[in-house]
Amino acid sequence: MSTLLIIAILLLGFIVVFQIAKASEYVSVLKGEKKTFEQNNRINGFLLLAFLIVGLIGVYWCNELFKGKILGEAASDHGEKIDTMLYITIAITGIVFLVTQILLFVFAFKYQYSEKRTAFYYPHNNKLEVIWTVVPAIALTVLVGFGLYYWFKITGDAPKEANVVEITGKQFGWIYRYPGKDKVFGKKYYKDIDEGQLNQLGLKWDDKASHDDIVTNEALYMVVGKPVKLVINSRDVVHDVGLVHFRMKMDAVPGTPTTMWFTPKYTTAEMKEKTGNPDFEYEISCDQMCGKGHFSMKGIVKVVSNAEYILWLAKQKTNYAMSHPEEVKPAPAATADSTVTAAVNN
């Protein structure tokens, strides 16, 4: 009942305002204000042209001011293709924007109210309708086609030599898992998750393949110039792996792993030199609203040389060793060093 009353009040208010506006218009005509109305109309026409010119200058100025400065150069091979598609889309839509806006404001000025002009009734034109329907449809089909082509490449099979890293999102942080020497991830089960026992992914310890898995919250490590495949999961709600510098993103869905792969082009050290920022770090962020701590769900991505990557891996403790310190004896330093040296040489 209250809803109907509110609707009735709004309708009544609209009718009252409409009637007052019409009455004001009639009064102004009777008072001889018609000439003032025409003068104001001409002024508004010139203001529209001024707005068009100033607006276009503003668009050009903003483009020159921020071009290439917000995101910088794409830091992955797939990112280059994403940027190319973006530039093509901006070029097409930019041309359409310029043409339509110029016509809109010029027509608003040229065809402003005049007693000497009557409206031309032009209800239908098959040729024009075909043109403005078919041309945009073809352009959008081409853009969507290229988008799907690159999407299937990004989410398709990664090269055999690609490093594989598992990323799991949780409120509000990231968990990274790297396979051990066997290059195989061990099984996991969400009911076995036990933060107190340092098993934050629920790895199944009866599966030997999980014993050499490395689990860390420190950073996501990648090798420059080498493909990396990301296997993405979520431990609670929907998150989204956002890698803005690489122009990559993918949803992290509970119970449904998603994947994507790409090849980093520059190490973190090289990007510090390219950007002139000694504090530069690649960033992983959550691009899906996931709760009140969403803003803090950021992480660091380290792109390093192959030797640095192997050395970093060699220094990490396996998740099994962290969860069962009494069962695992630390390897002698000499053995660890020789292992790293042999791996680097290989």
Tens of pLDDT, residues 198-224: 999 999 999 999 999 999 999 999 999
Q: How confident is the model at residue 334 (pLDDT cuts 50, 70, 90)?
A: very low
Q: For 291, phi and psi rounded to 5 degrees? A: 140, 180
pLDDT at 333: 47
94-121: pLDDT as tens digits = 999 999 989 988 888 888 877 777 877 8
Q: Give residue 67's pLDDT.
A: 78
pLDDT at 35: 67
Inform me whether the pLDDT recorded for 42 exceeds 90. no
pLDDT in the model for residue 32: 60
87 contact partners, CB below 8 Å, separation of at least 6: none
SS3 203: strand
Count CB-CB contacts under 10 A for residue 32.
8
Q: Is omega for the bond preceding 172 within 30 degrees of 0, making it cis?
A: yes
Helix (H) or strand (E) holding 181: none
User: Which pLDDT score is estimated for 329?
Assistant: 66
CB atoms within 10 A of CB 243: 24
Q: What angle do CA 40, 44, 50 make, to 5 degrees?
A: 145
Q: What is the pLDDT of residues 155-168, one digit of tens each?
A: 999 999 999 999 99
Evaluate the CA torsion angle 308, 310, 312, 315 in order and state its sign.
Answer: negative
Whole-number mean pLDDT of the chain? 86
Please name the helix (run of DSSP H) or strand (run of DSSP E) that holds residue 92, with its range, or none. Answer: helix 77-110
- Nearest one of 231, 227, 218, 146 to 188, comparing CA atoms: 231
Mean pLDDT, to the nearest integer, of 239-247? 95
| Mean pLDDT of all residues in 16-41 | 67
- Please report the beta strands in the chain, taking only residues with DSSP state E, as ranges in sequence order: 163-170, 173-178, 214-216, 220-223, 228-234, 239-243, 248-252, 258-262, 282-286, 298-304
Query: In the predicted model, what is the mean pLDDT of residues 241-250?
Result: 94
Segment 278-303, tens digit of pLDDT: 999 999 999 999 999 999 999 999 99
Contact between residue 289 and residue 252 where contact means Cβ atoms under 8 Å apart: no
Average pLDDT value for residue range 264-269: 95
Query: Exposed e or buried b for every residue in 183-199, given b needs 16+ CB within 10 A?
Result: eebbebeeeeeeeeeeb
Q: Find tokens 């070029």 and name the residue.
A: 91
pLDDT band, residue 318 (cuts 50/70/90): very high
Please, which pLDDT band fits residue 79 given cuts at 50, 70 and 90?
A: very high
Torsion angle, alpha carbons of 66, 71, 74, 76, to 10 = 180
Do 148 and 183 contact (CB within 8 A), yes or no? Answer: no
pTM value?
0.76
